[in-house]
Amino acid sequence: MQKLLIANRGEIAVRIIRTAREMGIVTVAIVSEADKSSFAADLADEVIIVGPAPAGLSYLNHDAVLKAARDSGADSVHPGYGFLSENAEFARKVIAAGLIWVGPSPESIELMGDKSRARRAAIDAGVPTLPGTEGAVQESDDIDAIAAEIGFPLVVKASAGGGGRGIRLVEDPAQLRGTVEIAQAEALGAFNSSDVYFEKFVTQARHVEVQILGDGETYLHLGDRDCSMQRRQQKILEEAPAPGLPVAVRERMRESSVELARKANYVGVGTVEFLYDPTSHEVAFIEMNTRIQVEHTITEAITGIDLIREQLRIARGEKLSVEQGDIRFSGHALEFRINAEDPDNLFMPSPGTIKTMTLPGGAGVRSDFGFIAGKTVAPFYDSLLGKIIVWAPTRELAIARAERALGEAHIEGVKTTIGLLTALVTLRDFAEVKHHTKYIESFLDTLGDTE
């Protein structure tokens, strides 16, 4: 691997460029017309414009991205997260073009991308799962009887879904058929597949996940993370390790995740996601993400392992640089996603030019941003500006350090979520690990009641 094309933008493109440069790999950034003056474009060795601003005509355009790889002489493609990172068809095209695909095989992407098939694979690997259908529901199925056996509340999930999309909650049996029809229509529109499956819904669950790596021979985990602070099923605050888990639950999650990777012959970096019920202390499989996660940085913070470096090494045929017994976990880390959104206006996107940007520093503080002062936040893409990551020997000190770091962060020119994140990390409920995946909605409702 000598020359890497990065099929992405923003924060993750900058992140990949930095590690690639340390490894002596030349980088090629693809950009849309809207991103031609981006921070990633500044940092990359070469830049190729692949189309106009809309992602469908640029970052999601298979032919344009592959042409950029050919024209630049790149020998490899890293898709980052989002966009084409979990697109098996694109992965096949990259491989067919004689390029190195930095990710798992197209077959692994397809298996884990089909959530109902992934659920079956998890069951076969001994991964704990929630009650639900073994696969997608069929037209001939008696869905009322199936739902009654699972129990309410339940969720209808798109088999091809992901990233928090394609999920519908059903609390009343009378809502079932109508919800299924809506979910199928949404799934068809978003994922080009109307397949859906049912799964038991856990009230006030926590979202926990395990980072896994595999090279075809060795499979291991790099610990767990908690991603329960979510808004509209999108993570905004994560921490590692997941706090307050019983030892047996933590061990079962980690060991079964490695077994799933092994049985699936998974080669690359991936994440196995779970729901954890703090009341029953039960944990259950949600899905497996076949790419680098936004929150990979907190795993790096507690292990000292560069996950992008491991991705690139695995992709070029090298074996993992560590074995399970080599992994040492140290301290506690928190990550805060800073989005260009206006919390006072229903979290509407806040595009514009960044006039000033002051990011925090000091012991245990890392800032991974895709923007600097003077750059423009375009209205066409995800609103993530970057991430502030803090590490400390204990969770208590990490929380105090995070409050200090967020207080140092100042961005002018666009609205951001820094204030909301500061409020969340200072809550007693967060300190006492009483939060869950629906916590932020209830917290915002409480704020509304007091205004």
Question: Do 392 and 378 contact (CB within 8 A), yes or no?
Answer: no
Over residues 322-344, the mean pLDDT reads: 96
> Would you place residue 160 in the very low, low, confident or very high pLDDT band (cuts 50, 70, 90)?
confident
- d(C-alpha 113, C-alpha 121), whole Å: 12
Residue 449: its pLDDT value, please?
46
Marked catalytic residue, from 168, 291, 337, 395 = 291
Residue 203: its pLDDT value, please?
83
Over residues 266-283, the mean pLDDT reads: 94
Residue 202: its pLDDT value, please?
84
State pLDDT tens for residues 235-252: 999 999 999 999 999 999
Over residues 216-230, the mean pLDDT reads: 97
For residue 444, what are the contacts with CB-CB under 8 A and spacing of at least 6? none
Pick the CATH number of 206-450 from 3.40.50.12780, 3.30.470.20, 3.20.20.140, 3.20.20.70: 3.30.470.20
Q: What is the mean pLDDT of the chain?
A: 94
> Would you place residue 207 in the very low, low, confident or very high pLDDT band (cuts 50, 70, 90)?
very high
Which whole-number Å values give the CA distances from 74 to 5, 47, 117, 274, 331, in the listed order?
6, 12, 34, 37, 39
Biggest CA-to-CA distance, the chain: 61
Q: Please provide the DSSP assignment of 69-106 as one string.
A: HHHHT--EEE--SSTTTT-HHHHHHHHHTTPEESSS-H
Tell which wins on pLDDT, 203 or 22: 22
Catalytic residue list contains 291: yes
State pLDDT tens for residues 300-316: 999 999 999 999 999 99
Residue 164: its pLDDT value, please?
63
Over residues 414-441, the mean pLDDT reads: 96
Token look-up 């996601």 returns 273
CATH assignment of 131-200? 3.30.1490.20
Over residues 344-356, the mean pLDDT reads: 96
Going from N- to C-terminal start, the domains of the chain cover 3-102, 131-200, 206-450
Residue 450: its pLDDT value, please?
39
Weakest-pLDDT range from 57-66, 173-182, 359-368, 398-407: 173-182
Per residue, the 3-state secondary structure of 186-215, as one string, reads HHHHHHCCCCEEEEECCCCCEEEEEEEEEE
The torsion of the CA quartet 339, 343, 345, 351, rounded to 10 degrees, works out to -20
State pLDDT tens for residues 16-73: 999 999 999 999 999 999 999 999 999 999 999 999 999 999 999 999 999 999 999 9
Q: Which tokens sit at 219? A: 């499979």
Taking 60 as the threshold, does the pLDDT of residue 413 lie above it? yes
CATH assignment of 3-102? 3.40.50.20
Over residues 129-136, the mean pLDDT reads: 86
Instruction: Give the containing element (helix H, strand E) for 358.
Output: strand 356-358
Taking 80 as the threshold, does the pLDDT of residue 446 lie above it? no
Question: Would residue 187 be called left, alpha or beta, if left means φ above 0 and alpha means ψ between -120 and 50 degrees?
Answer: alpha
**Phi, psi of 158, rounded to the nearest 5 degrees:** -70, 130
Query: What is the SS3 assignment for 398?
Result: helix
Residue 190 is which amino acid? A
Taking 90 as the threshold, does the pLDDT of residue 162 lie above it? no
Q: Which tokens sit at 7? A: 């099929």
Taking 60 as the threshold, does the pLDDT of residue 448 lie above it? no
Token look-up 């012959």 returns 265
Weakest-pLDDT range from 354-358, 424-428, 430-434, 446-450: 446-450
Taking 80 as the threshold, does the pLDDT of residue 451 lie above it? no
3-state helix, strand, coil in the chain (%, to 5): 35, 30, 35
> Would you place residue 167 in the very low, low, confident or very high pLDDT band (cuts 50, 70, 90)?
confident
> For the purposes of burial, counting CB atoms within 10 Å of the CB of 393, is it exposed (0-12), middle (13-18) or buried (19 or more)?
exposed
Q: What's the pTM value of the predicted model, to 2 decimals? A: 0.91
The torsion of the CA quartet 163, 164, 167, 172, rounded to 10 degrees, works out to 160
Over residues 420-429, the mean pLDDT reads: 97
Whether omega before 52 lies within 30 degrees of 0, making that bond cis, reads no
